[in-house]
Structure 1
Amino acid sequence: MTVPGSSQTLLTVIPDADALALTLEQATSRNLSVVTAPDPKAALAMVEMARPEIVITDLFLPGRMGLVLIQDIHKRAPATATIASTQTTEQGTILAAIRAGATDYLPLPTSGKEIGLALDRAIQRLSRPVEAIPGIDRLDYRVTIGTDPHHVEACVSWLMEQTAGNLPESQRLHLQATLIELIVNAVEHGSLEIQYHEKRQALSTDRFDALIEARRRDPRFAERRVVVQAGYDLRHRRLHYAIADEGNGFAWNRLLTRGNQPCDSHDANGRGVFLSKAFFPDLTYNEQGTQVTFSVPLP
C-alpha cells in the first residue's frame, strides 16, 4: 500500500533511446518517479528494490527475454501495471505478452502522446491507497490456504503486495521470511500433522513430496485449511497477522525461549519460529498452539 503523499514509481526497460526519452518526458509530467534498467535481468533486481507500480519493458525480440521478465513481475508483484512494447504488431506476440501478465501493449515506434495515454491507463489501474480514503480505520484481509506447501510462497507474495508495500526493504524481507516460515509450519506440522523427525527423514530420502501427497489424500487431513488474517490498522499504524491451522497444536512455549537447544522431534521448525520472534517480538501462539499472531509497525 502506498504511503500518503508518495509518488508512484515507473521502471523502464527500454533500449531505444528515442522511446526512452519520450517516456521520461511523459512520466515527469505525471509526477512519476522513474528508475531505469538496461535489460530484463537488471530489471528484476530493480523490481525487488524499487517496488515500481508501473513497468514499461521491451520484449527484447527475438529472445523474448521481456516475456520472462513480465512473468516474473506478475508472479512477484501481481498488482504492478506492466506495459509491453516492441516493434512488431504480430498478434501472437501481443497475446503472449498479455498471457504472461502484461496489462497493456505499446507498439514501437511510438509518440509521446501514445506513451502518455498508456501511462494514464496504467495509473488508472492502480489501486487507490487506503490512506487516501477518509473514515477507514482498519482494513482486513482473510486468506484461506489449502494443504500444498508449494503454494505458500505465491500466497505470501500476494499478501505482501496487498498489505506491506510501503515497508522498508529490510523489514519486508523479514516479514516475507516470517510469513513463509509460519504458514509452511501451519500447513505441514499443523494441518498435515507431519512431525519434525518425519520431515527430516523424508527429505533425506527425497520422499518429502510423496509424504505431503499421502497426507493430503488421507481423509483425516484432506479437508483441513490454514487461515491467514491480516489487519491494516490505520489508527495505530500497525499491521497485524494471525495464522491458524486445524491441527492438534503443539507445546510452543519453549520454542520462543530455548536459545540454541536442538529441535524436539515433535516441534514445528523451532529455529524458524525463534528467528521470527527475534524479528517481531510480540509474536505469540494461542494456548493450544494452533494460531500464531504478531504485528509490524508501519513507517
Structure 2
Amino acid sequence: MDQPQKKMKVLVVEDDAFSRQYITSVIRMGDYEVMEARDGAEGLAMFESFAPDLIFSDISMPVMDGLEMLERIRRKSHETIVVMTTAFGSAEFTLKALRLRANDYLVKPVVPKDIIANLRKYADVLAARSVEREVIGFILERYLKLRLDNRLEVLGKVADRLMQETEGRIQPADRMGVRLGLLEIIINAIEHGNLGITYLDKKSAIEGKGAELNDLVIERSSQEPYKSRRVQIQFQMNAEMCEWIIVDEGEGFDWQSVPDPNDPANLMSMHGRGILLARMNFDEVIYIGRGNQVILRKKLVKPA
C-alpha cells in the first residue's frame, strides 16, 4: 500500500507585512504547510525548527538580510530549495544570491501565477527525489537515452532519474542546482521547442493578457504538428565529466541573443531565464545549429 505523500513545507521570509501575508495567502490556497518569518534571523531560526523544503525570501531585510541567511543555510543544507524575491533594480544582489546557490528568483511585484508555478514545479521535484543508492565508484562509464513526450508533469521524475546516474560523483553542494538546471532546460525544450510557445506568448500568459500558460500547453499538446514532437535526452558519464545532450523537434531559436548571466542588467528580464539559471549550475552550456540541441556538461569529483 502506498504511503501518503508528505505535504511540502514552505517558509516565507519577508519584512514587509503586507507582502509576507500576500505570498503566504497564495501558498495556503494549495495543500502545503507554510510558516512566516519577518527577517533573516527569524528565517534562520525557522529553518532549524521547521525544516522547510522550499523558502521564498526577500533579499533586503533588517537584522539579517536574505543573503546572509542564505549563506548560513547553505553551510548546513544544499537540498532546501531557496527562491529569492527581488525588487527591480537590485540585480547585483540577485546575482550574488545565485552565486550563493539560491535556486531561483522572482522579480517584485510577485503575482500569484509566479508563486503557484514555482510551488508546482518544486513539489514535483521533491516528490521525485530518489532513495536508491548505488555503488557508483566502481563504474567507469554510464550511458542512458530517453525519449519524452510533452507532458510537463513527469519532468520532475525525469530529472531525478537522470540525477540517479550521478550519485556520489557531483558535489553535494551542486546537486540541487544541477537537478533544477536540467529541469529548466527540458521545460524549455518542450514549451519553447516542441510546442512553439514564444517568449511573448509566455509573457502574455503570465501577465494575464492571453490564454493561461497551462491552457496553452494543453492546447498545443493536442494539435499537430506539436503533439507528435518529442524530446530526446542522451546522458553519458566518464571518469571526468557528465554530459547531457537534449534535442527537441521545434524550429529552434536565436541562442546567440540569450542574455549573459554575468551581466546583472539581464536578471530583471524573464527572457532566457531558464538558460541563465542553467549557466549558473553547469560548467558548459553549448547550443548547436539552429538552437534545438543543447549540450550540458558538469565536471565530476573523484569517487571516494
- What TM-score comes out, normalization by structure 1 length? 0.53
2:126, 2:182 → 1: CA distance? 20
> 1:288 and 2:290 equivalent?
yes
> 1:131 and 2:140 equivalent?
no
Distance 1:261 1:144, change over 3 A: same
> 1:238 and 2:241 equivalent?
yes
Aligned-pair RMSD on alpha carbons?
A: 3.4
Q: Does structure 1 conserve the Cα–Cα contact (< 8 Å) formed by 2:196 and 2:250?
A: yes
1:263, 1:184 → 2: CA distance? 20
**Aligned counterpart, 1:188:** 191
Which of 71, 77, 82 aligns to 2:129? It is: 77
Partner of 2:252: helix, strand, or coil? coil
- State the identity as a percent: 24
Partner of 1:293: helix, strand, or coil? strand
Q: How does 1:135-284 map to 2 (within 5 A)?
A: 137-205=140-208, 207-234=212-239, 237-255=240-258, 257=260, 259=263, 260-261=265-266, 269-284=271-286
Using the TM superposition, give the Cα deviation of residue 158 of structure 1 relative to its aligned residue in structure 2, in angstroms: 1.9
2:284, 2:185 → 1: CA distance? 14
Query: Deviation digits for residues 196-237 of structure 1, max 9, x if unmatched?
Result: 111121233371111111100112111111111111112xx2
1:200, 1:172 → 2: CA distance? 29
Distance 1:201 1:165, change over 3 A: farther
Amino acid at match of 1:185: N
Q: Structure 1, unaligned stretches of length 5 or more?
A: 1-40, 51-71, 81-125
Distance 1:79 1:173, change over 3 A: closer
2:137, 2:266 → 1: CA distance? 44
Aligned residues: 185
Query: Deviation digits for residues 84-125 of structure 1, max 9, x if unmatched?
Result: xxxxxxxxxxxxxxxxxxxxxxxxxxxxxxxxxxxxxxxxxx
Using the TM superposition, give the Cα deviation of residue 171 of structure 1 relative to its aligned residue in structure 2, in angstroms: 0.8
Amino acid at match of 2:295: T
Q: Does structure 2 conserve the Cα–Cα contact (< 8 Å) formed by 1:77 and 1:161?
A: no
Partner of 2:184: helix, strand, or coil? helix
Using the TM superposition, give the Cα deviation of residue 239 of structure 1 relative to its aligned residue in structure 2, in angstroms: 0.7
Query: Deviation digits for residues 104-152 of structure 1, max 9, x if unmatched?
Result: xxxxxxxxxxxxxxxxxxxxxx64x24325xxx4211112121122221
Q: How does 1:35-46 map to 2 (within 5 A)?
A: none
1:184, 1:293 → 2: CA distance? 15
Distance 1:246 1:73, change over 3 A: closer
1:223, 1:230 → 2: CA distance? 23
Partner of 2:130: helix, strand, or coil? coil
- What TM-score comes out, normalization by structure 2 length? 0.53
2:235, 2:182 → 1: CA distance? 11
Distance 1:214 1:74, change over 3 A: closer
